[in-house]
Amino acid sequence: MSQSKIQLTLHRGVEGFADIQADWSQAAQGQASHFLHFPAWYGAHLATVAEPQNLLFAVARQDQQLRAVIPLQQAKLKLGPLSVPGVSLAYANEMGLCDGLIPEDIDLPVAQLLAELKRAGLKFRLFKLDCISQSSHAARWIAGSQLPNKNSHVTKFLDLSAGREQFYAGYSSKFNRNMRRKLKKAQEQGEIVIERYRNAEAAAAFDTFLQLEDSGWKGREGTSIAQQPNKLKYYQALIQGFSADGVLSVNVLTLAGKPIAAQVGVQINSTLNLLKIAYDESHSDISPGYLLIDGLIAEPDSEHYLSKVSFVTGVDWIDRWKPQCEAVKVAYASNNWLVDSALKRYLSRQSAPQPSSHNNTQQTIAAPA
């Protein structure tokens, strides 16, 4: 039996988002594998952005059921020296990734989406899929379209699937000694505990993160979330959205009952995506952020087992953990022969960075074995 026809509709801005949010959230519960597949990022963005009407959502329905949501934005897109009217995947976050909720079993050609955008009267010359990782729904969606593309950067993660003992077996004896030394030094100052919060409790624990972040150099420079009203409003909306969807996670490391590090993340099944990390700089000699990461590494039979911790971005500070890297790329589709020609010249001159490879052969906090 053939599938029923896919119906595409476009929803714009705050009102359009409100029309689809409940159905989108319900669809994500069963099909999401990444925090960008939930509506929370986009709701927070719409609540704080200056021009919410530039954000629109392509919604695919089948038998009146919402199946896919592709968040888009209208903007001038740079192509070398050119600036052309374009439509791109919505970049509604600061994490260096974009995606949409696009299940594998849906038949939705890129050409069908572009045709719908033109029918709706959108004037664009370039379609850009920016910041899509190799494992993203968007990358899988365009795999058969042979769109021109280039690598742009990497996203980094730790594979914890083999459990704690095997994970640390891949590190040098010096690395393991150093982790044991830091943990011992911390334990000499008091009991070390990880407090794990989910959803509504995590939303309340977000205040602890804000205080820790504001206590350090970001607070002194006025760049902490707490000292930027619009950014604070954004993250409060984000926290509320992920909490409602049941995927919000906040982990707090305490020393003698005092919080010294905190992580804000989204946990989907056994994968934790870290969005924000903060620590008390007065305890930098014991590396609270690293001790908190260490505390997440558990054996598969543990109730706190995680198979993967994603740092989402390609930040350098995490390289000490020898993370694995996944390529992130940019893909294009032109809507004009002149732009198509410029696109080919632009891509031919690009020398895109290749993902580096860190080979890691790799709950009360315990020292590495």
97-106, 222-231, 310-319: least confidently modelled range: 310-319
Closest CA to 339 of 142, 134, 148: 148
Do residues 326 and 287 lie in contact, with contact meaning Cβ atoms separated by under 8 Å?
no
Q: Tell me what the mean pLDDT of segment 221-247 comes to.
A: 95
Roughly what angle, to the nearest 10 degrees, separates helices 200-214 and 229-244?
Answer: 150
> Could you give the angle at the alpha carbon of 38 between the alpha carbons of 32 and 39, nearest 5°?
155
Taking only the tens place, the pLDDT of each residue in 312-368 is 998 888 999 999 999 999 999 987 778 888 888 888 876 544 444 444 433 334 433
Amino acid code (one letter) for 43: G
Does the predicted model carry a pTM greater than 0.75?
yes
Tell whether the model's pLDDT for residue 307 goes beyond 60: yes
Q: Structural domains in the chain?
A: 7-147 (3.40.630.30), 157-321 (3.40.630.30)
- Report the C-alpha gap between 169 and 172 in whole angstroms: 8
pLDDT computed for residue 100 by the predictor:
96
Round the CA-based radius of gyration of the chain to a whole number and report it. Answer: 22
Which helix H or strand E contains 254, and what residues bound it?
strand 248-255
Reported as a pLDDT band with limits 50, 70 and 90, residue 248 is: very high
> Between these two residues, 26 and 359, which has the higher pLDDT value?
26
Q: How far apart are the first and last CA of the chain?
A: 56
What confidence tens digit (pLDDT) does each residue in 42-71 have? 999 999 999 999 999 999 999 999 999 999
Q: Which amino acid is at 62?
A: Q
In three-state form (DSSP H/G/I as H, E/B as E, the rest C), the secondary structure along 115-129 is HHHHHCCCCCCEEEE
Closest among 51, 85, 55, 69 to 9, alpha carbons compared = 69
